[in-house]
């Protein structure tokens, strides 16, 4: 069974631009969560989508948004990029919630210049 895939793996953008990251969950998984990893703040929860609905949201500004499609694939969008948005963005999928394990993708490394 294929794991969680994220595209692109690396991205360089300029301040003020916007970016869209993609995540394909493990087949059959309906929950997709996004996390931001930075050296200063560590791993922080962005949001979770389940059956195309945002089910949970972390403490990030409205510039960070996401969506999930009917095939469970998810995208996250960051508008008006700032230097501080440079990070590794990780996607995780699970069957649902509760005690189901979350499986992480390799991440997308975003650099904002």
Partner 1 sequence: GDSVTQMEGPVTLSEEAFLTINCTYTATGYPSLFWYVQYPGEGLQLLLKATKADDKGSNKGFEATYRKETTSFHLEKGSVQVSDSAVYFCALKAAGNKLTFGGGTRVLVKP
Peptide bond just before 33 cis, omega within 30 deg: no
Shortest spacing between CB 16 and partner 1, in angstroms: 29
Assigned token pair, 2: 């294929």
**Nearest CB to partner 1, comparing residues 77 and 96:** 96
**Nearest CB to partner 1, comparing residues 38 and 113:** 38
Assigned token pair, 86: 């440079």
Distance from C-alpha of 42 to C-alpha of 94, rounded to nearest angstrom: 22
Distances 72 to 10, 26, 53, 60 between C-alpha atoms, Å: 22, 9, 10, 23
Residues that bind partner 1 (CB under 8 A): 4, 31, 33, 35, 42-43, 45, 48, 50, 55-56, 58, 90, 92, 94, 96-99, 101-107
Indicate the DSSP class of residue 100. Answer: P
Shortest spacing between CB 56 and partner 1, in angstroms: 5
Shortest spacing between CB 44 and partner 1, in angstroms: 8
Shortest spacing between CB 105 and partner 1, in angstroms: 5
């Amino acid at each position: 069974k294929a794991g969680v895939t994220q595209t692109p793996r690396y991205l360089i953008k300029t301040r003020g631009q916007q970016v869209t990251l993609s995540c394909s969950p493990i087949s059959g998984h309906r929950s997709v969560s996004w996390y931001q990893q930075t050296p200063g703040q560590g791993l922080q929860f962005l949001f979770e989508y389940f059956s195309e609905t945002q089910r949970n949201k972390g403490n990030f500004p409205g510039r960070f948004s996401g969506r999930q499609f009917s095939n469970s694939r998810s995208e996250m969008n960051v508008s008006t990029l700032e230097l501080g948005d440079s990070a590794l963005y990780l996607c995780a999928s699970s069957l649902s919630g509760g005690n189901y394990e979350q499986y992480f993708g390799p991440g997308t490394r975003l650099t904002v210049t």
